[in-house]
Amino acid sequence: MKLFTNKKKLREEIGKINNISFVPTMGFLHKGHESIIKKSVKGSGKTLVSIFVNPKQFNNRKDLKNYPRNTKNDIKILKKLKIDYLYKPSYADVYKFKTKNKIYLDKFAKELCGEFRKGHFRGVIDVVNRLLEITNPKRILLGNKDFQQLYLIKKHIMKNKIKTKVFPCKTIRDKNFIAYSSRLKKLNPNEKTKLIKIIKVLKKYKKDLITKKQIYNFSKIKKKIISIGAKNVDYIKLIDLKTLKKPKKNKFNLFYALYIGNVRLIDNF
């Protein structure tokens, strides 16, 4: 594994390689990241992973400052996974150049997290666009847990006719159906227990919606989730993944964003 902190040197190394698979991360790697990286390594070509905590996608400085980091452990994991290249840039290395592509934000950016995190997706698309311009990969691998983010990146790539292909990767969960996330580290044991109970209720809620034992009622399910221990619930929405609208049939994913303590967690299933 070769480590680069400078885009110029990275480009010198990979400039002539036309089969690079790229996995962008903010570090503090977990089993979800590992699954995506393994998928990349098993494929043809070289694997490039980036670690960059992007300030522009955070809504407040405190959240950015408190975002979990462990570079030493990340490097250990990446070496074990036998990736080819790690790009760990500074802020200036990513942002101090003029991009070729304009940021394209699909209207779906106003839904779900976009309604509650102003400027978040613009920050996400900006950094991903910059990383793509720096690395010029054949493919980018992204997790389905962040479905909205994945969809918006895909739309930006299509709009700008960027040649990189988007490969969605399945969400990896623990035995309690909790999707792995870097933010889980910030939960104490009591909060983790609350999350397990909430997930159980949401899974049953979806099942009951499908079997018509339940009618969708946000206020009612929000009240129930808060009674179990959520500090707040931004949304619990049912979305048809093909139309991105309220489902007319029983094929949909349940999307949620909620707070346990000061930790905001999102998922869809």
The pLDDT assigned to 180 comes to 98
Decide if 78 is inside a domain.
yes
User: ∠ CA(168), CA(269), CA(41), 5° rounding?
Assistant: 30
The pLDDT assigned to 60 comes to 87
Q: Residue 54 is part of which domain span?
A: 2-169
- pTM of the predicted model as reported, rounded to 2 decimal places: 0.96
Task: Check residue 45 and report its DSSP letter.
Answer: S
CB atoms within 10 A of CB 145: 20
Mark whether 120 is an active-site residue: no
CB atoms within 10 A of CB 22: 27
- The label of the residue with tokens 């006719």 reads 161
The answer to whether 90 and 5 are in contact (CB under 8 A) is yes
Task: Please report the beta strands in the chain, taking only residues with DSSP state E, as ranges in sequence order.
Answer: 2-4, 20-25, 46-51, 85-87, 139-143, 165-169, 232-239, 253-260, 263-268
- The label of the residue with tokens 């960059």 reads 52
Q: Are 91 and 160 members of one domain?
A: yes
Q: Are 53 and 89 members of one domain?
A: yes
Decide if 175 is inside a domain.
no
Of 246, 221, 249, the closest CA to residue 235 belongs to: 221
CATH number of the CATH domain containing 251: 3.30.1300.10
Which of 30, 33, 120, 156 is catalytic? The answer is: 33
Last residue of a domain, one of 169, 193, 223: 169
Distance separating alpha carbons of residues 19 and 41, to the nearest angstrom = 12
Q: Are 129 and 52 members of one domain?
A: yes
The single-letter code of the amino acid at 161 is: K
Last residue of a domain, one of 118, 142, 169: 169
CATH number of the CATH domain containing 86: 3.40.50.620
> For each of the chain's 269 residues, which pLDDT tens digit applies?
999 999 999 999 999 999 999 999 999 999 999 999 999 999 989 999 999 999 999 988 989 999 999 999 999 999 999 999 999 999 999 999 999 999 999 999 999 999 999 999 999 999 999 999 999 999 999 999 999 999 999 999 999 999 999 999 999 999 999 999 999 999 999 999 999 999 999 999 999 999 988 999 999 999 999 999 999 999 999 999 999 999 998 999 999 999 999 999 999 99
The pLDDT assigned to 156 comes to 98
Q: Are 19 and 90 members of one domain?
A: yes
Of 149, 243, 184, 203, the closest CA to residue 31 belongs to: 184
Q: Are 161 and 187 members of one domain?
A: no
Last residue of a domain, one of 169, 190, 211: 169
Q: Are 133 and 229 members of one domain?
A: no
Spell out a b/e string for 182-220, using b for 16 or more CB atoms within 10 Å of the CB, else e.
bbbebbeeebeebbeebbeebeebbeebeeeeeeeeeee
Decide if 231 is inside a domain.
yes
Distance separating alpha carbons of residues 121 and 205, to the nearest angstrom = 29
Q: Are 31 and 162 members of one domain?
A: yes
The pLDDT assigned to 212 comes to 87
**Overall domain count for the chain:** 2
The answer to whether 141 and 23 are in contact (CB under 8 A) is yes
Distance separating alpha carbons of residues 217 and 267, to the nearest angstrom = 19
